[in-house]
Amino acid sequence: MEYLTNSPPGVLLAAGLGVGLLLSSAAELIFELAVLQAHAQQTPQPKDPELSNSQTDANSSDGYLPDQAHAMADVGYHFANLWFAADKQNWALADYYLGETRSHLRWAVRIHPVRKTRAGEVDLKGILDAVDNSILSEVGKSITNKDVAGFKSAYLQTLTGCYACHTACEKPYLRPQVPNAPAAVILNFEPNSNTP
């Protein structure tokens, strides 16, 4: 470190320019790879029958978007943090996490709007609309009213609704529960804390 502080400004400037050029070249390479990938995606590719199944056939964007499990992991992250924000009565943060939960649920349904099961098709968009307009709306009302007891009741009802959807989709092993720790361990959930 002492070597750098005793270096002439020209050496430091040259080193900075070198790093800048290196980063610029890396950015160009990444851009070129993205253009090549976009071009390859526009070129019709033969469908690999080994990669096809009833779940992926319903999604014409398959292979280009993250799968529904990824979006649902984000839902779990936001919904877990929502519990702790409301528990600490940090209503602004709770409202934020409710919005993120709803947004990522919509994303999950856009990725995979209908799930095929042995019993038939499950309309995930219809389920989401019903959940969003009922129990998630109740969660929102409890946040607006700063009602901890109402929030906890609506949150538990939402978990029950989530599990009913998982069961309908033949995934009863996905059993959501009230979280015992926030998903975001780096955040301070206290509403009036001055510490970052």
Alpha carbon 98 to chain centroid distance?
12
Domain 57-168: CATH class, spelled out: mainly alpha
- Per the DSSP assignment, residues forming a β-bridge with 123 are 114
Q: What is the pTM of this model?
A: 0.67
pLDDT averaged over consecutive 10-residue blocks of the chain (196 residues)? 55 50 47 46 43 46 75 96 97 98 96 93 95 97 98 97 95 96 92 79
Q: Are 126 and 89 in contact (CB under 8 A)?
A: no
